[in-house]
Amino acid sequence: MFVSLEGIDGSGKSTQARLLAEALGPETLLIREPGGTGAAERIRELLAEPALELDPLAELLLFLAARADLTARVIRPALDAGRDVVSDRFADSSVAYQGAARGLGVGEVISLTGSATEGLWPDLTVLLRVDPEVGMDRADGDDRFESEGLELQRAVAQAYEEIAKIASDRVVVVDGEGTVEEVHERVMEAVRSR
């Protein structure tokens, strides 16, 4: 099973992805996006630089390059070997941030990300819903996206709501506010229900 965790910055996805992977057992592969290979981690560093100026399409293509490498060399082999994979962000992040919030177009980004992953989408996506103001308080604000402020996070949050409606067979929305344990229990319930 391939599960992705999605949400705005400061939604608690990284903590919840780790707890979910632990709960699924020691064979579970936990990864984050962008990241998970040498090249993808270097792309991550580049994309996080607050001072970096970048054309939106170039930004998307860097995320997709990282995702293509991670998918082909890490995720597919793990799934083929029968392992569960939990990913802290995946393709929906590009759809929400680059497609909707940056205005590249949702359909265009879905199509390009499909090419990068050769059509691989998660079996289940858990969307952690938190108020953008709560997320901003929780996020450390030190990367390029967080430093753009509340307006970007609001646009991303709205895009995720649209994605959850369009892809309701795959995406489960979970209330991300409350204690880490409370949210973990909701995430487990969402996974069990599938």
Residue 44 · residue 52 · CB < 8 Å: no
| 121-180 positions binding ligand TMP, by CB under 6 A | 143, 145
Could you tell me what percentage of the chain is helix, strand and coil, using 3-state DSSP and rounding each to the nearest 5?
55, 10, 30
Kindly state the smallest distance separating residue 139's Cβ from ligand TMP, in Å.
Answer: 8
The residue among 2 and 145 lying less far from ligand TMP, judged by its C-beta, is 145
User: Under the criterion CB under 6 A, does residue 68 sit at the interface with ligand TMP?
Assistant: no
Own/partner pairs, 103-112, CB within 8 angstroms, 24+ separation: 103/56, 104/56, 104/57, 104/60, 106/159, 106/162, 109/60, 112/60, 112/64
| 29-48 positions binding ligand TMP, by CB under 6 A | 32-34
Binding residue (CB under 6 A) for ligand TMP from 97, 99, 126, 186: 97
Residues of the shown chain interacting with ligand TMP in the complex, contacts defined by CB under 6 A:
9, 32-34, 63, 89, 93-94, 97-98, 143, 145
